[in-house]
Structure 1
């Protein structure tokens, strides 16, 4: 059996690097660990951390194809962040001009959650813990 310790990181390809970098750093508050431009691939690679832990790679490539989100397509469904207070999270997002879906309750856990979209319409979930 494989011995997996934890998820190391998630990689996202964006269509507008500047807009996505702003979203993930200024809106979501992830911190930049390293940013490099790979000339041979015409691509930025941005390593981002949450609470000091490396969690996300943001890539840019010239003219990436759009990822269908709705109707839901096969593949990665969404990225979810744990939050303490979902109502406070939604309020802070609204103050930054980000609209959230109505808060729902997970029928299996009783926990509240909501979704927003990143600049490329990738669903981002906030799940109250």
Structure 2
């Protein structure tokens, strides 16, 4: 049997590394990590203490989605400390979002798209 410890990283395809680094690093404030010198272009970011986000550049975009937010499509979710502070940060950065403060999931949800239409979900306790 496989003994799982934790999720290590999520990899997302992106079209434009410079644009993605601006969005994830500057706009959302993810901490960039040192990435090994692979033959491909990309960037690594810390999510919390032990998880990572890996961005992989595909300039031709053949593997990337093009539609708007659909929560049943592939996405990744990050638990945040404050629903209200996250909404305020997204609004201050002029990032469109879909808010579900009273989600049937049992916690509040906020969905956004990155520049390549990868779906990001922010989750928080009700009323936070």
Measured against the shorter chain, the TM-score band is: 0.7 to 0.9
User: 1: CA distance between counterparts of 2:37 and 2:61?
Assistant: 17
Whether 1:107 and 2:104 are equivalent positions in the alignment is yes
Task: Using structure 2 for the length normalisation, give the TM-score.
Answer: 0.81
Shift of 1:102: 2.9
- Separation of aligned partners in 1, 2:76 and 2:95: 16
Q: Which ranges of structure 2 fall in alignment gaps of 5 or more residues?
A: none
Inter-CA distance 105–127: structure 2 relative to 1 (3 Å threshold): same
TM-score, normalised relative to structure 1 = 0.81
Distance in 1 of aligned mates of 2:114 and 2:33 = 20
Aligned length: 124
Equivalent of 2:77 in 75, 80, 83: 80
Equivalent residue for 2:22? Answer: 22
Q: Matches of 1:53 and 1:20 in 2, distance apart?
A: 21
Q: Do the aligned residues in 2 keep the contact of 1:79 with 1:125 (CA within 8 Å)? A: yes
Matched residue SS, 1:105 = coil
Q: CA deviation at 1:22?
A: 1.0
Structure 1 residues 40-82: Cα deviation after superposition (integer angstroms, max 9, x where no partner)? 5xx312121124534111111231213255585x9x6111111
Root mean square deviation, CA, Å: 2.5
More strand per residue: 1 or 2? 1
1:122 corresponds to which of 107, 118, 121: 118
Aligned to 1:11: 11
